[in-house]
Homo-oligomer: A and B are copies of this chain.
């Protein structure tokens, strides 16, 4: 399948964004996504035990299995704000429902940004009626209003079956680690799918993609991934839809990883030869999470012994040190647990390119997994040492 370039919406979906006054300056900080009719929907949320108020309300709403709109603000996360925060999240949904003339139970709210600061709900309420009148067809507009430390808006779309479209809009950057959900991502389709299929395919695709993404090993309190299927283009085979969803999510995962805070390079780790899928996943995650592997990529320094360290610290996995092999972007760097006599300048060269593909063969089984991450650079320190104040 080929991605639509530029990304477009499925039938019946539109979006709008505005600067309502939460961010300093004039960048948009409020986005609205809406379907012209209610959609079958599913969502997964962060496992963080201090979830944001919108996550608390979102978990209740998604039980109904139907959504028609998503409203998102950036800069303030509405987390650590108690009962008052939950009340403000509900008000954000009510204002959206009024502006669109729909049932408030069909609105999903998200907030992303600083934790522990009250949501400026009056600014949001004041902006929503106007925003509902500005709905338009470019998904990048809505993506832009969700950005925090992202350097660019993120959306992908692709065809599904004969006539339907799948569009995925997301934001990421920091506080991203594998334990669903790790960012804000909304998938919209005009394919007709039943509730169980929407839920099943969302969970399966998230498990293989966003749950295997790590920018910094920190797990956000806010994050959410939802799928809305409004059915306007009629039925599509569930398998075909599931494949498209995985493809779109892989594409979004790579965008999020490459745009990780301060990141210069997408790090793609493939683990093969594992004794179980769980082992393969745990080793792949250990490699994308390791600060020493990430700084090796940042520096282009062929300190490949760190790969052995990051494999070995998976205490629960079956590891035979003398069976481990590894390639960096096609160049063999470890064989039978030992450094090969690789050409250091060639390895430096591929470490300086984007993406870096690290393939690790555990040599003890038949299972495999892939994880996505990024390098660890001065930029990460720069952004996070002063994020609150800036």
Contact = CB atoms under 8 A, between A and B. Distances in A.
B49 A289 contact: no
B218 A49 contact: no
Interface string A273-297: 0000000000000000111100110
A181 to B, nearest CB: 13
The interface centre, meaning the residue of A82, A116, A298 with most chain B CB atoms within 10 A of its CB, is: A116
Contacts of A378: 378, 381-382
Contact of A217 (B289, B324, B387): B289
Given A292-B174, A324-B50, A305 B116 contact: yes
A310 B116 CA distance: 13
Interface residues of A, number: 69
A15 B80 CA distance: 54
Contacts of A197: none
Contact of A80 (B50, B80, B314, B337): B337
Contacts of A299: 384-386
A299 B382 CA distance: 8
25 contacts: A47-B313, A49-B312, A49-B313, A49-B319, A50-B308, A51-B321, A79-B305, A80-B305, A80-B339, A82-B338, A115-B305, A116-B305, A174-B292, A175-B292, A218-B290, A218-B291, A218-B309, A218-B310, A219-B309, A219-B312, A220-B309, A221-B312, A301-B385, A301-B388, A378-B382
Interface of A: 47-51, 77, 79-82, 114-117, 174-175, 177, 179, 216-221, 289-292, 295-296, 298-306, 308-315, 317, 319, 321-322, 324, 334, 336-339, 376-378, 380-382, 384-389
